[in-house]
Every structure is written in structure tokens, then in C-alpha cells.
Amino acid sequence: MALIIVESPTKARTFNRILDPKQYFVFATMGHIRDLPGNKIAINYEKQFKPDYAIIKNKAKIVEKLKKLATENNEIILATDPDREGESISYHAAYLLGKVNEAWPEIELKDKNLKRIVFHEITPGALKEALANPSTLRISLVKAQQARRILDRIVGYELSPLLWKKTGKNWLSAGRVQTVALRLIVEREKEIKNFRIEDYCQIYGVFQPRHPTGDEGLKAKLISKENILYEEKTTFKLFSGDYTYSKTSINQSNVEEIKKDLNNDDYKVTNIEENIIKKYPPPPFTTSLLQQDAFYKFGFSSKMTMNLAQGLYERGLITYHRTDSFNLSTGFVFKAKDYITATFGEKYALEKPRGFKTKSKLAQEAHEAIRPTRLNPDLKTTEKLTINHKKLYSLIFNRAVSCQMKEAEIKIIKINIEGEKKYLFESVVEQVLFDGFFRLLNPKFAESKKLKPEIGQNQQLTLREIVEESLQTKPPPRFNEASLIRILEEKGIGRPSTYAPIITLIQVKNYIEKENRYFIPTPLGTSICDYLSVSFPRLFDLDFTAGMEDDLDKIANDEKNFVSVLTDFFQPFKNTLEQRKKDVSLIKIEDKIEGICPQDGGNLITRFSRFGKFIACSNYPKCKYTKSILKTVKNKKCPKDGGDVVVRYTKTKKRFYGCSNYPKCDFSAWRFKDL
């Protein structure tokens, strides 16, 4: 028999449903089994950054069983995920089984016959092909993963003690990529505060023919007078790039005069321009696009999206979900064509498959986009799935299939209405001629578009109504999960597997908070970020961080030596670190005053601990008054004792509901509907 090593029990069960149990025994490592220990830096600088790996706590029995199984089976097959993290799990399993020689910095395979299979979907066809064409451990991917792990360990374990010394809080942490993500949020908050909000007006006219037909009329926007445009564009410099916004030169000082002028004018249609454009479907999902769409459509966090996608992948329902590729397999696109023809009709199917070009620079860890493994919109599996699994699957299915459907045809009708005083209005109407891919992806789109208005060239019109909108220029928006992931990807910071952990970590550390789904830096997060970005300007620069990601990609592609990359990074970092250690200044955290202490009359301020945010007296330690910050759920009472229901969080920031009288009352619920 052959021993197949995978990461999770769900994946193992899927393998067992597909493979012959008389030929293969599938064993799950339950994730990583060997890693850097948490109680020390475990990096030997004198020996070319040699890592001191150890078996992870509570994994000793798994390792013992793995070794026993290896002796009982004739063949060992590594079948972990196809990215760097999966390769690393395979590598450490192979090392513990005596198949690898760590002659640092070189890594040698002792057993040249050790098999590694790579696949991007867990289906009978994919596994059969992978088992028929095994490869070996991809050492370049292992080195890239180790280089990232070592870099992050150096930054985290060298900078965190510095923060403890500067703040007196020994639970703070800094990270090579997490601090850059935090910096984007902090700098955006400053940009919002520095943005000058201006009032302006926008004027619309509602027109109808001289002989009314009883319709609602045609609404058009005032755009110019005597060919001078009212709209002005302004560019505002941001840390992450330029922000361009628009406003008009119409304001409270001239709006009444313009309206009076408009009411005493005669109008006619001066131009009707019709153009037929084609709208093409968006590409299939990459990791970041899936996280963004799931956030906007369902409110899923990036972490939740990845957990759901992991479950779908391991059950064999979708392809590998950590990818930055737009590629789709030949088998899928031709099956998709048959499905589209049978479901929607031949006119919706393409003659030739449609391809998409990826914007990613180098990383192609999984060589296919996220797609369903079967052309079946209804999930059928032997394992139970939640409603959220089904929502995400439907999102993936529709996106992958629709990208192989015909483009939509839309008629754009631009109508210019001009008065004798040279005021020009413009109305743009869209009319769907053929819905194409919208038939699957957004069927309501075609239904919502108007028909061509019954207005002709040079037709005389009556201004029935003037609509004035009082507006303000809007500052750049705060980041939410989707927009933060988008900017991280655009700037080349992080990779598909890192977005969710980054966002989760800066929330767990209380560096940022969510308000209406948008991120706001806490005073703690702002202070930490400002200190690190000023003290280590090179390390937390966007371009430098993106360049480091490129170097890691080049290591994975066997184009760069990973020890050289580590050396080039470490020496400048060490020099700057030594200088900062000599600096005796402290990090000042601006405290937000929340009221007056009922015990000694001091100011109540917001404080942060490893367990979250709370209110305390500013005269601590003389006064030890504290108060939890809890959000009360309106119109809900505890079913046990009638107390208020409040929102609480676990240590990992998972939300649940509890009684405000805790610990006297131990009522709790995970879901709002269970209250």
C-alpha cells in the first residue's frame, strides 16, 4: 500500500471517497507539524540564518503515528496543497520521516524516489492524472516559504521588544507586512482629516415635449454654459496614490441666478448620438477578487471567505482557492460552452473560449483561477454544507461560467438639450439590446435599463422642473476589507495566502477597529504605526515591501539565492535597530477622554490590553476603576434573567452575544437569531 499525506481530515475523507482503500491509506497532519518555536527567535544569525525548527506542541502523537505508518507502507506520497505553504508542510513531513537532509543552507533529498503529487482540484480525474505523473519536492518553493518565515520572525521578534520598552505594554507586536497594512489605514485616516470639504450644487432639468404625452419627462444634467464646463476636477495626493474628485462651480452664491436664467429660456434637442458598445464579463475569481466580491455581496470577512473556500476545495467542489491566475483549463471551458448552450441557448455561447491576462507580476502558485469542478449549479455532496458554503459556491460558479458567455450589447443614447442662452444639458440613457453574460451574472441589469426616449433631433422642449442637489466634496473613503485587499494587491504587498491573516492580526492586536464595516485606527494603532514608519522608514515603505515580495517570488522561481536576500535585508535593518535601541524616548499614546471617574473624579480614558479595549481611570495605579466597553443590542433581553444583551468578542475577535450581568448570568449565543 501507499501512504498519502494531506493536511486536513476533510481532504482525507474526499481522497478516501475517490481512491481505492486497498491501494492507498490517507493520513492528515492536521496542518503544520514542525515550525519555529514561539518562546525564542530560533534564527541563528551566525550560521546563515539557520532556523531552529521544532515539532509543534500537541503534534507529537501525530508525528509518532506518521512515522509508524511510514514503516507499514511501501510507498510515501506527499499530497499537500500546491502553494508554498503546502510545499512546506510536505517538506517537514519528509524531514521527520528521514527523507530530507538539512545541510543548511542547502536542502537535499535522501530518498530520490519520494513522490510529490500536485493537483488543483480534488476530483477523480485530477487525482488519477497526478498519481500517474508524480514529481518530487519543489525545493525552491520550500526555500521561498522559509525565507518569508525567517524574515517575518526577525522583524517580529526584534521589533516587538522595542515596542514593549517604548510603551510598557508587553503584548504588542510589529510585523513586516502587517505594519504596512496598518500604515495604509492610519495614513488614510490622516488624509480624511486633512481633506477640505467644500459645498457645491448640481442642477438637473426635467424636460418634456411642447405637447406632453403624459410620460415622466427626460431628466438631464446641466453641464456647461457657452462651452465652459461647470464641473471641475481636483487631484488630492494620498499615501497610496492620487485621489481625483469632482465638484461644480455652482454654489449658493450663484445657483439662484442660474435657476432664474434657466426658467426664462427656450430649449430644443441639438444633438442625439447613439453608439452600440459591448460589455464584457469580468474574469474568473482569483483569491483577492473572491474576497472582495464576497465582502460586497454577503458581508463575509476575508478570513470567513477563505475558511468557506477551504471547505469547498477540500470536498472537491472547487479548484484551489489560493491563486492569482485567471487561467481556466481547456476541459472546463468546453464543458462550460455545452452547459451555456443547454441552459441559455446557443446565442449565449462563445465560438472560441475567452482568456484573461493576469496583472500579477510573478507569483503563479496555483495555475488556474477559482472555478467549480463540475458544471452543476446545485451542490450535492455527502457532507453537510452551511448556507454560507452554498452562497460562496454560487458566487464562484456564476462568475466562472459567465466569463465564457457572450458579451452584452448596449446602446448608449446621449441627448444634448441647449437653450438660447447657451445653457447645455446632457442626458445619457442605456438600452440593453442583448443581455449576454448578464443573463447569469446579473439578470436584473437588463430589466432595469430604459427604452429609448421618444424625442427627436431639433425637437422643442419645455423645462418642466429644475432639480437642485446640494452636495459636498467627499474625502477619500476609509478602507474596508475589500478595498484594503485591493490596494495591497495593486501595490504588490502580500500574496493570496497572506491577506486574510494580515487583516485579522491587526484587528486582534487592537490596532484598528471596525465602524460600519470600515477600518478606523485606534490611538494605539496610530501611535505604533507613526513610531515605526518614522524610525524604520525603509522597512515600512510600500515600494520596499513590494520589492521584498518580488524577491520571494524570484526565490520560488529559482532565480535568486534566499540566503543572499536575507543578508541584504538584515544588515541595514540591524544597523537601524541598534540606533533605535539607544534612543530613550517613549511612544506617546493619545488617550481619548470618555468621562469622569465615579471613584476619584479623574478622567476616564480608553485603554488597551491583550484582551481588548476598556475604560479606566487616568489616575491608575492610585485608582483602579475600570469599565468594559460593551455594545447593547436594542429591543433584546436576556432569556435567563431579563438583563441587557451585549455584544462580546472572543480572544480571536469572533463575535458572540451575552448577558450584561455576566458572570452572575452565563447566557451566550453565537447567532443573532438565537436571541
Tell me which residues are annotated as active site.
320
Identify any residues that bridge with 107 across adjacent strands, giving them in sequence order. Answer: 102
Q: Which three cell numbers stand for residue 12?
A: 482525507
Q: Which three cell numbers stand for residue 487?
A: 490596494
Identify any residues that bridge with 115 across adjacent strands, giving them in sequence order. Answer: 77
The most distant pair of C-alpha atoms in the chain lies apart, rounded to whole Å, by 95
For residue 544, give the nearest of 573, 585, 577, 514 by alpha carbon: 573
Q: Whole-angstrom Cα distance, residue 192 to residue 245? A: 13
Radius of gyration of the chain (CA): 30
Q: Which helix (H) or strand (E) holds 564?
A: helix 562-582
Q: What CA–CA distances, in Å, run from 416 to 359, 468, 651?
A: 38, 19, 60
Is residue 461 within 8 Å of 419, Cβ to Cβ? Answer: no
Q: Whole-angstrom Cα distance, residue 591 to residue 524? A: 9
416 CB contacts (<8 Å, ≥6 apart)?
269, 270, 271, 272, 273, 424, 425, 426
β-pairing verdict for 75-78 and 2-6: parallel
For residue 621, give the nearest of 644, 638, 636, 599 by alpha carbon: 599
DSSP string, 415-472: EEEEETT-EEEEEEEEEEEE-TTHHHH-HHHHHHSPPPPS--TT-EEEEEEEEEEEEE
